[in-house]
Structure 1
Amino acid sequence: MIQASFVAFICLLLVVLFVLPVRAGQDMCELHYVTEQSPPYNYQEEGDLKGIAVDLLRAASRIGCDDPASLDIRSHSWARSYKLARKVRQYVVFSTVRTPHRESLFHWVGPIGNSPKVLLALKQNSIVINSQVDILQYRIGVVRNDIAEEVLLQMGVPQWKLYRSNDPYKLIEMLSKNKIDLWAVNYNSVPALLKSSELSPSGVTAAYTLFNKKLYFALNPMTPPQMEESLRDSIHKIMSSSEYPHILSKYPTLSQD
């Protein structure tokens, strides 16, 4: 009887010392989430992080985390957020376009939305682009290290024709002052980004569509599998629930296709 009690005690001790700490350290809140200013999916407004992807993460944390309050989301420039997720274990960058070049650089959770990337022009300039060749003559503003920069270079746009900035609002200012001819931007982001500028949505036009690709959470490939699965399962459950349409309704976009 004593021996049986002792064995039971040892088994319980092993559970406490080994099983519980591992389990507590394997959920999606052990990851660090980094993003950029790109409404309607992720952006800061008056110091608060908002957006479809941000709300989706917070909702998922209530399912996938032992302590949802520990969810760590931070906003940086796109270049910094992308570099952190590339180089540092357990970092996740969002919302990220998935491409063949990036495929092996990350593990992917999603899709969570779409990115219709366009070249935006001032209507008053009457820019007409009928083919990729036409693009080569224009000065184009891009967010540094954004997928649009990669795509434009692949099209043959010279490096010196690309005006790079970490700040999308700087690119808006350059467009409004005719310092660039085109601005590469997610079409869904345009109304929100123009709110605090001199430009209005009625004063710009999408002169050309570069692509329309899906958006994902991109995880550093050294992320422990249990954490990755916790994020994937929790995101899937929210997107399959009645809460997801409610999240989308808070952030109307120009294109959901």
Structure 2
Amino acid sequence: MFHIKGAITTLVLSLFLSSLSYGNELNKLTFITESYPPYNFETSGLLKGIAVDLLIAASNKAGSPVKRGQIKVYPWARGYRATLEEPNHVLFATTRTKEREPLFKWAGPIAKTKIVLLAKNDNDVKINTPEDIAKYTVGTIRDDVGEQLVKALGVPDASIKPSSNADSLVKKLNTGRVDLWAYEENVARWFIKKNGLQNSDFSTVYILKEAELFYAFSQKTSDDLINQLQKGIDEVKKTKGQISDTLYNDILSEYL
């Protein structure tokens, strides 16, 4: 009987220590983001945004704080490939789609998102059906959800003009080098304003998809770590805020 009790005690202690070690591992993951304001962006050397602040708050709630300085900022295509191919990587803010569902593991949601086609008003672009899109040139970010959505609609590769960053696409759209820009609506308008242009000169001419943004984990990431972050996110959304009903809504109000 003594040996049984001793074995049970050892097992319980082992499980307890194991749970503590998981708590210390969340901040050992490689977190990758891009310039995608207002969800994640750098200003005056500080990384911030809805997704960044939520990650910081949720990891604190999970007992394994992630620091802003350990989050890597990569071009989207590079971060996307790394998270597909390497273990223990987390990419955000990532639109969760049917096509991407089996490629990653997920925690969230971070926020609702709307992927659209934007056009300059002067060009008088008309999109009534998906087939109409192929009549125009479409600027995209490589491996971004906007690019994936227009391809899924059957838009030929010859009509798609990929780029590595949003600033270059704003310029191309403004100067007529592309007719349309497939991107997240809030983010696109942020970059239009950043480049000194008037948002009133550009219109959403077609909605590609309404979805939600998530943290996307590489497949070879422990489910325990993903569950930890998910519990932290859920806790942030329940915790009373300082200026609104929840801490989560406090974060949203800072940027939207």
1:54 to 52, 55, 59: 52
User: Alpha carbons of 1:169 and 1:71: their partners in 2 closer, same or farther (altered >3 Å)?
Assistant: closer
Deviation at 1:240, TM superposition (A): 2.0
Q: Which residue of 2 aligns with 1:38?
A: 36
Instruction: Select the residue among 21, 26, 31 that pairs with 1:24.
Output: 21
Aligned residues: percent identity?
33
Q: Which residue does 1:103 correspond to in 2?
A: 101
Report the counterpart of residue 151 of structure 1 in structure 2.
Answer: 149
Give me the CA root mean square deviation. Answer: 2.5
The Cα of 1:185 is off from its aligned counterpart by: 1.4
> In the aligned structure 1, how far is the partner of 2:194 from the partner of 2:144?
22
Gaps of 5+ in 1: 1-6, 253-257
Distance 1:68 1:106, change over 3 A: closer
Deviations 1:86-127 (A, max 9, x none): 111111111111122211111111122122111111111111
Instruction: Tell me how far apart the structure 2 counterparts of residues 243 and 223 of structure 1 sit (CA, whole Å).
Output: 27
So what's the TM-score if we normalise by structure 1? 0.87
In the alignment, residue 222 of structure 1 is paired with which amino acid?
K
Contact 1:33/1:92 (8 A) holds in 2:
yes
What secondary structure, in the 3-state scheme, does the structure 1 residue paired with 2:212 have? strand
Evaluate the alpha carbon distance shift between residue 79 and residue 213 of structure 1 in structure 2; reply closer, same or farther with a 3 A threshold.
Answer: same
CA contact (8 A) 1:30 1:227 kept: no
Measured after TM superposition, the shift of residue 24 of structure 1 is 2.8
After TM superposition, the structure 1 stretch with the greater mean CA deviation from structure 2, 27-36 or 126-135, is 27-36
In 2, Cα distance between the equivalents of 1:172 and 1:110? Answer: 29
Give distance in 2, aligned partners of 1:166 and 1:179. Answer: 15
Change (3 A) 1:205 1:20: same
Q: Displacement of 1:25 after TM fit?
A: 4.5
2:234 corresponds to which of 233, 236, 241: 236
**Residue pair 2:22, 2:224 contacting (<8 A) in 1 also:** no
> d(CA) in 1 for partners of 2:179 and 2:126?
11
Q: Say which SS state the counterpart of residue 195 (structure 1) adopts.
A: helix
Moved more, 21-30 or 35-44: 21-30
CA distance in 1, matches of 2:129, 2:67: 49
Q: How has the CA–CA distance of structure 1 residues 54 and 129 changed in structure 2, closer, same or farther, with 3 Å as cutoff?
A: same
For 1:98-137, what aligned pairs fall within 5 Å after superposition?
98-137=96-135
Query: 1:249 matched to which residue of 2?
Result: 253
Contact persistence 2:56–2:65 (CA under 8 A): no
Q: Distance in 1 between matches of 2:228 and 2:20?
A: 11
Taking structure 1 as reference, are residues 165 and 22 closer, same or farther at Cα in structure 2, changes over 3 Å only? same
Q: Which moved more, 1:39-48 or 1:227-236?
A: 39-48
Deviation at 1:236, TM superposition (A): 1.0
Please name the residue that 1:180 is paired with: 178
Give SS of 1:113's match: strand
Partners in 1 of 2:66 and 2:35 — Cα distance? Answer: 23
Q: Secondary structure in 2 aligned to 1:99?
A: coil
State the number of aligned residues. 245
Supply the AA of the counterpart residue of 2:190.
Answer: A
- Corresponding residue number in structure 2 for 1:223: 221
Partner of 2:71, secondary structure, is strand
Deviation at residue 21 of structure 1 after TM alignment: 7.0
Q: 1:199 & 1:172 partners in 2: Cα distance?
A: 9
Supply the distance in 2 between the matched residues of 1:217 and 1:68 (Cα, whole angstroms): 14
Unaligned runs of 5+ in 2: 1-5, 240-245
